[in-house]
Structure formats: structure tokens, C-alpha cells
Amino acid sequence: MTTTGEDLIPRVTTKARTTALPPTASAQEVAAAETALGFTLPPLLASLYREVANGGYGPDHQLLPLVGPGRTALSEYRSERSASAEGETPYWPAGVLPILDWGCAMYAAVDCLSETATVLLFEPNAMTDDGAAAWFVDAGSLAEWLETWLAGTGWYREDADEHEDTPEPTPWQQAATRIAQ
């Protein structure tokens, strides 16, 4: 089944509205965030922020707001890129926007430079002297990742270890190349 933003956004909205949501981000706020980031958001991600809510829904710990006070996807991107550039081991590639904090310094992040908006898992506990070792592909696209959340079949669900068909993140093969850019 091919999923488009047109059919996915209403289903995400329905599930998201089971909790109290913040207001949506305006088109101007999304455009300002893209300017600050230096890249555009994938259309589906921009639509989520403009049409569903400015964060506050999604798997487990909830999507980070794109903009606003406190921790946001924008502020976390800037923080991780800065720490990566200043540290001995670069680890955060340009164009990879953290959208969800799993805790323990782990993030779900969208590769905003990929055609499909690949969703990546950043797991710093896997990193030694190679920042690329911390990156895993969680889903081939943002749409696929959202479908997993909607279906309740993600690796992160509490009973995932009881289901043999639960896909686990795999190493991101382009991580080293993308970090070096």
C-alpha cells in the first residue's frame, strides 16, 4: 500500500487527538525554522507540524515541537550539530532533524535530505570512536514510520520482544559519508 500525506494526515490527526495537543505551527513558523535550519522539511513532516500539531503526539515520548519555547526540534538540531562539531568524534550529520527524544540521549530523527525522509535512530551508547556506529535506519520513510505507530507495531512498544515480526532498526550505511560532509 502506498501511503500519501493526503490519507495519512487525517489518520494521524485522529490518533493524535486522543491527547491534549498544542496548537499547530503556522506556515510562517515552519518557513522561519527551515531558514534557520538551512534546509527544507520533507512535505509530510511540514504538514504534520502545520496541520496536526506543533509536536505533542506520536510514539512513546511524543514528537518534539518544531518551534517555540523550551526544547524543540530546531534547538536540539542546533545543539547536536554544535556538540558534534566541537567534539573529538563527529557524530551528527547535516540535514538530520531530531523529532522525538526516546530518552537516554536517543533520538528518532528524519533525514530531511533523503527523498523518502528516512527515519533514523540515534543511539549514542553504540558509539565508540566512530560517530557513524550510533546511527540506525528505523524506517525507510516518515510515512512508513507513522504507519508503524498507527498500527502499534514499532520496535519501541512494550511487548515488541514477544513478536517475531517486529522489525528492528538496522545500521545506517550512509552515516559515515553523511557525517563527513
Q: Count of alpha carbons within 13 Å of 159, Cβ hemisphere only?
A: 4
CATH architecture of 5-150+167-180: 3-Layer(aba) Sandwich (3.40)
Q: Which residue has the cell 550529520?
A: 93
Question: What is the domain partition of the chain in residue ranges?
Answer: 5-150+167-180
Percent of the chain with pLDDT over 70: 91
Q: Is the pLDDT score of 160 beyond 50?
A: no
Residue 147, helix vs strand vs coil: helix
CB atoms within 10 A of CB 39: 14
> Tens digits of per-residue pLDDT, 103-114?
999 999 999 999
